[in-house]
């Protein structure tokens, strides 16, 4: 007796090989089992997808290569997991094998059946932990928290937990998880957060809450900052059911969890849930799909929900049956009750070239004098975005990209933030030899320096020197640097913290009473229709860092403040922000989007081509466009002309894209699916000459 096994393996991107490859096995293989199979000259890991008895003399199966090994020490991946992978592959236009293998821990690829069996044995040899009840003294829930929890328990969802910054959403997640785990000894919960490194606090809170009650291995993490052995260990614990809680970033949405009953997506609006390379999936959207498939409850939480989720949670009204999500609101802040006051500084009234207005400097000075902290937020790292020659007009362009190289003063380099090309800063203008080349504009590094000069003479209440620190991708590159810098802020060693959006998100800084955004205007007039949404949520999140602790607010006679320096103080976005009125902002944005027929009222995809020349990239897209004309249902989908990307050239590759849009998600999906084979063919046709790669981005985040 023989079996024909169709196996999902990682085939090269865009290869013409089908979704699964067929092999033959002399033993029966369970679908979902991990197998090792020959592929070309290599032997690779794969997932058995479908298995059928094959006639031993059947000529087609005689020609198949045999499965090399079945990793049967591991329970096969469940049907619901395979369904999730298949759905993601279909929806995001990727191959099954690519998604399946990317969803497995990388180390699994290198283990033989024997090594894996040994690892699993070692794991199960670990003695069960002492289960003693070390639950911390219970907080009394706020009325809003209690109400949200009651509805989470009673209704099916999916839920949008719309709670202000500091309203205690995390406590709601913790309780919802606790209730579930206590009720059902096999239940597992998946808790996703945008960037786990930014919130070591959250991980600590989960461990503290659950390890005492459910054992030391009850909480595992899953994110890209872990080593391969750590990731494998977490994954095995989730798959084996010993981990009751998986805390992870977007990749965790694919964790195999046989007892999954609850999925939390914290800060669901965060752009990092959308994968930006390879399979461009949205972990938030997949969480909703997965919850539905596995009958697990899904909680999306945010103070500034994505407009998609907000719209999906609209209440029923007159003709409209309402959205599919249940909206739960927690408008009040725990503790101080008050959200910070938002103050706008009209930069038109400031002397030209003002970086920090006098009033803002005074306000920061007062915080220092009271022993409180300030956050200064500027979304641009480096010293200056451009270096320029005043004589001949030379600018620090990257030779490989259509972008300027950023001046980093610390190591005196010009660095391209797109391709990484780095050079020492030239002594003189490379074009005319002028010695007087100067930085233009400013980034966090220069701002830090500037603040240092301005406050050089200022002392703390105890007479000691003040400390200004910076947190951005540059200052945190070294392993452990971010943790130690955050710890210094929490310990009160830092008076003024300068940083990029890394400091705006999630942190529960207790002593911060002032937050300011120095230069947020760029996003107001961006060509990307999601830019205002992102700016609003970033500013709300930033404001949410201020005045979180009554001890540092009312006791000092001050409230938390959010300062915004802008040239457009009349902009309606700021008016809504001043009132902390996300709902007003969302209403206005949704009206605009409805009028313009944009998401969430339409569904989009991008077809992108990268090529040696812009002409070649666009020619491919135009040919693809013509090819799509013949497809059934093409008339229900709008295809826009090919255009260069905003940053047209990166690392000497020219990039172009074409927007595809439809009011029907199904129509868009059908077109994309039918288009896929034509695109593969085109790539090999004359129209594909010079094309390096192409890709489809479904529900793209930025256009």
Residues near ligand ADP, by CB under 6 A: 139-142, 145, 163, 165-171, 334-335, 508
Q: How far is the CB of 71 from ligand ADP (least distance, A)?
A: 40
SS3 for 571?
A: coil
Rounded distance, CA 358 to CA 371, Å?
20
Could you tell me the smallest distance in angstroms from the CB atom of residue 85 to ligand ADP? 31
**Helix (H) or strand (E) segment spanning residue 345:** strand 341-346
Output 171 or 445, the one with its CB closest to ligand ADP. Answer: 171
Give the shortest CB-404-to-Zn ion separation in angstroms: 9
Span interacting with Zn ion, options 418-426, 496-504, 540-548, 664-672, rule CB under 5 A: 418-426
Q: Answer yes or no: are the C-beta atoms of 417 and 401 closer than 8 Å.
A: no
Query: What are 515's two structure tokens?
Result: 């937050």
Q: Which does 401 bind (CB under 5 to 8 A by kind): Zn ion, ligand ADP, none?
A: Zn ion
**Does 431 engage in binding with Zn ion (CB under 5 A)?**
yes
Quick one: which of 90, 109, 200, 421 contacts Zn ion (CB under 5 A)? 421
Q: Closer CB to Zn ion, residue 391 or residue 521?
A: 391
> 44, 198, 222, 416: which one contacts Zn ion (CB under 5 A)?
416
CB contact at 8 A, 416 and 403: yes
Residue 400 in contact with Zn ion, rule: CB under 5 A: yes
Pick one of ligand ADP, Zn ion, none as the site partner of residue 392 (Cβ within 5 to 8 A by kind).
Zn ion
d(CA 565, CA 363): 13
Is residue 392 within the footprint of Zn ion (CB under 5 A)?
yes
Assign 115 to helix, strand or coil: helix
| Residue 431's binding partner out of ligand ADP, Zn ion, none, with CB under 5 to 8 Å set by partner kind | Zn ion
For residues 139 and 551, which CB has a smaller minimum distance to ligand ADP in the complex?
A: 139
423 touches Zn ion by CB under 5 A: no
Please give the structure tokens belonging to residue 98.
Answer: 């690519």
Least distance between ligand ADP and beta carbon 366 (Å)? 25
| From ligand ADP, Zn ion, none, interface partner of 47 (C-beta below 5 to 8 A by class) | none
**Per-position b or e across 176-196, b if 16+ CB within 10 A of its CB:** bbbebbeeeeebbbbbbbbbb
Shortest distance (Å) from residue 382 CB to ligand ADP:
30
Pairwise CA distance, residues 623 & 358, whole Å:
57
Q: How far is the CB of 526 from Zn ion (least distance, A)?
A: 21
- Could you tell me the smallest distance in angstroms from the CB atom of residue 377 to ligand ADP? 17
Complex with ligand ADP: residue 507 or 683, whichever CB lies closer: 507
**Contact criterion met (CB below 8 Å) for 394 and 429:** yes
Could you say which of Zn ion, ligand ADP, none residue 334 binds, taking C-beta under 5 to 8 angstroms by partner kind?
A: ligand ADP
Place of tokens 């096994």: 5
CA distances from 398 to 425, 437, 441 (A): 13, 16, 17
387 binds Zn ion (CB under 5 A): no
CA distances from 352 to 347, 356, 439 (A): 9, 11, 17
User: What is the phi/psi pair of residue 551, to 5°?
Assistant: -60, -30
Residue 103: half-sphere exposure toward Cβ, Cα within 13 Å: 31
181/177 Cα distance (integer angstroms): 6
- CA-nearest of 189, 187, 256, 245 to 221 is 245
- Binding segment for Zn ion (CB under 5 A), chosen from 40-48, 309-317, 341-349, 414-422, is 414-422
Task: Determine the size of the site formed for Zn ion (CB under 5 A).
Answer: 15
Which of 339, 364 has the CB closer to ligand ADP? Answer: 339
167 binds, among ligand ADP, Zn ion, none (CB under 5 to 8 A by kind): ligand ADP
Strand ranges (E), 1-136: 2-9, 21-25, 34-39, 42-54, 69-70
| Contact call for residue 406 and Zn ion (CB under 5 A) | no
Q: Which is nearer to ligand ADP, 165 or 221 (CB)?
A: 165
How many angstroms separate the Cα of 509 from the Cα of each of 221, 495, 540, 548? 23, 12, 15, 7
- Residue 419 in the binding site for Zn ion (CB under 5 A): yes
Torsion of CA 142, 143, 144, 145, to 10 degrees: 50
CB of 139 to ligand ADP, least distance (A): 4
Q: Are 207 and 219 spatial neighbours (Cβ–Cβ below 8 Å)?
A: yes
Nearest in space to 34 (alpha carbons), one of 53, 61, 7 = 7
Tokens of 497: 């913290």
Residue where the block lists tokens 């199966």: 61
Residues 401, 668, 679, 696: which binds Zn ion (CB under 5 A)?
Answer: 401
Q: Closest distance between Zn ion and the C-beta of residue 655, in Å? A: 13
Cβ 217 to ligand ADP shortest distance, Å: 25
Name 69's bridge partners: 36
Does 434 contact Zn ion by CB under 5 A?
yes
Stretch that binds Zn ion, among 199-207, 374-382, 408-416, 518-526 (CB under 5 A): 408-416
Question: Which lies closer to ligand ADP via its Cβ, residue 167 or residue 221?
Answer: 167
Query: Judged by CB, which is closer to ligand ADP: 145, or 249?
Result: 145
Q: Can you give the binding site for Zn ion, defined by CB under 5 A?
A: 389, 391-392, 394, 398, 400-401, 416, 418-419, 421, 429, 431-432, 434
């Amino acid at each position: 007796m023989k079996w024909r096994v169709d196996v999902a393996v990682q085939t090269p991107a865009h290869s013409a090989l089908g979704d699964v490859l067929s092999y033959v096995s002399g033993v029966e293989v369970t679908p979902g089992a991990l197998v090792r199979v020959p592929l070309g000259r290599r032997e690779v890991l794969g997932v058995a997808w479908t298995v059928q008895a094959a006639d031993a003399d059947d000529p087609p199966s005689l020609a198949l290569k045999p499965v090399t090994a079945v990793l049967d020490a591991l329970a096969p991946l469940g049907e619901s997991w395979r369904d999730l992978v298949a759905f993601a592959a279909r929806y995001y236009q990727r191959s099954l094998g690519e998604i399946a293998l990317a969803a497995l821990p990388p180390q699994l690829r290198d283990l033989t059946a024997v090594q894996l069996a040994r690892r699993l044995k070692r794991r199960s040899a670990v003695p069960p932990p002492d289960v003693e009840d070390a639950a911390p003294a219970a907080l009394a829930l706020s009325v809003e928290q209690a109400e949200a929890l009651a509805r989470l328990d009673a209704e099916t969802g999916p839920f949008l937990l719309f709670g202000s910054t500091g309203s205690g959403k995390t406590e709601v997640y913790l309780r919802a998880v606790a209730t579930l785990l206590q009720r059902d000894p096999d239940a597992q919960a998946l808790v996703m957060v945008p960037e786990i490194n930014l919130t070591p606090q959250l991980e600590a809170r989960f461990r503290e809450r659950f390890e005492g009650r459910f054992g030391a291995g009850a909480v595992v993490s899953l994110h890209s900052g872990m080593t391969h052995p750590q990731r494998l260990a977490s994954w095995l614990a989730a798959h084996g059911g010993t981990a009751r809680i998986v805390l992870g970033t977007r990749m965790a949405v694919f964790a195999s969890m046989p007892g999954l009953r609850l999925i939390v997506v914290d800060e669901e609006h965060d752009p990092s849930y959308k994968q930006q390379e390879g399979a461009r999936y949205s972990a938030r959207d997949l969480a909703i799909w997965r919850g539905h498939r596995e009958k697990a409850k899904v909680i999306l939480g945010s103070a500034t929900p994505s407009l998609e989720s907000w719209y999906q949670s609209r209440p029923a009204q007159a003709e409209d049956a309402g959205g599919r999500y249940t909206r739960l609101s927690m408008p009040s802040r725990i503790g101080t009750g008050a959200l910070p006051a938002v103050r706008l500084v009209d930069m038109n009234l400031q002397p030209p070239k003002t970086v920090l207005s006098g009033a803002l400097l005074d306000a920061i000075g007062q915080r220092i004098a009271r022993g409180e902290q300030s956050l200064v937020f500027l979304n641009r790292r480096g010293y200056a975005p451009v270096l320029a020659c005043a004589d001949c007009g030379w600018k620090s362009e990257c030779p490989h990209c259509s972008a300027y190289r950023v001046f980093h003063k610390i190591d005196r380099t010009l660095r391209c933030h797109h391709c990484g090309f780095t050079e020492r800063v030239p002594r003189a203008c490379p074009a005319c030899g002028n010695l007087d080349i100067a930085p233009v504009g400013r980034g966090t590094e220069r701002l830090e320096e500037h603040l240092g000069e301005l406050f050089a003479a200022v002392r703390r209440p105890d007479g000691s020197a003040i400390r200004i620190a910076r947190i951005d991708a540059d200052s945190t590159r070294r392993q452990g640097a971010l943790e130690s810098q955050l710890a210094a802020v929490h310990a009160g060693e830092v008076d003024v913290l300068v940083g990029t959006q890394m400091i705006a998100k999630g942190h529960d800084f207790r002593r911060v009473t002032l937050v300011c955004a120095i230069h947020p205007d760029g996003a107001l007039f961006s060509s990307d229709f999601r830019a205002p949404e992102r700016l609003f949520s970033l500013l709300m999140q930033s404001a949410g860092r201020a005045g979180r602790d009554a001890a540092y607010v009312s006791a000092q006679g001050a409230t938390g403040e959010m300062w915004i320096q802008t040239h457009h103080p009349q902009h309606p976005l700021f008016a809504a922000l001043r009132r902390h009125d996300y709902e007003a902002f969302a209403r206005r944005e949704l009206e605009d989007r409805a009028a313009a027929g944009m998401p969430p009222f339409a569904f989009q995809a991008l077809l992108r081509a990268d090529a040696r020349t812009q002409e070649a990239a666009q020619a491919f897209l135009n040919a693809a466009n013509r090819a799509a004309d013949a497809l059934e249902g093409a008339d229900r989908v709008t295809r826009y002309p090919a255009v260069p990307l905003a940053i047209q050239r990166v690392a000497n590759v020219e990039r172009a894209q074409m927007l595809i849009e439809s009011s029907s998600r199904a129509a868009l999906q059908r077109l994309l699916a039918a288009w896929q084979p034509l695109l593969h063919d085109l790539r090999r046709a004359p129209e594909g000459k010079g094309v390096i790669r192409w890709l489809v981005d479904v529900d793209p985040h930025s256009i």
